[in-house]
Amino acid sequence: RMNTLALVGEAEADYAALRRDAAPDDVLPELLLLSRLEELGARSAMAAPLAAAQEKRPRDPRILEALSRFEQLLRTADPGGARQP
């Protein structure tokens, strides 16, 4: 079984592939990465994709609502947890 850091690395690689094919304002790759990081318990790695999604859609209430949940998780992140992306 893979360790968490390896799984985070896989999730980041999948994100990079999705990001390459996505429209510039598409936040689905970030949302998928955030969901995967949450599943892995890698909350401390959520800062970068969260900021990227917020930057792409700063006024979209649906996106902001979804991101608010991840913001709450990030605030409770264990600073000794998984590495930052």
Residue 77 pLDDT grade (very low, low, confident, very high; cuts 50, 70, 90): low
The answer to whether residues 84 and 47 touch, using CB atoms and an 8 Å cutoff, is yes
pLDDT in tens, 8-43: 999 999 999 999 999 999 999 999 999 999 999 898
User: In the block, which residue shows the tokens 């930057």?
Assistant: 55
What integer pLDDT is reported at residue 83 of this predicted model? Answer: 41
Burial class (CB in 10 A: 0-12, 13-18, 19+), 82: buried
Q: How far apart are CA 73 and CA 30, in angstroms?
A: 15
Q: Is the pLDDT of residue 80 over 70?
A: no
Residue type, 14: D
Burial class (CB in 10 A: 0-12, 13-18, 19+), 67: buried
The separation between CA 73 and the C-alpha centre of its own chain, rounded to angstroms, equals: 11
Least confident residue range of 22-26, 42-46, 70-74, 79-83: 79-83
Give the pTM: 0.81
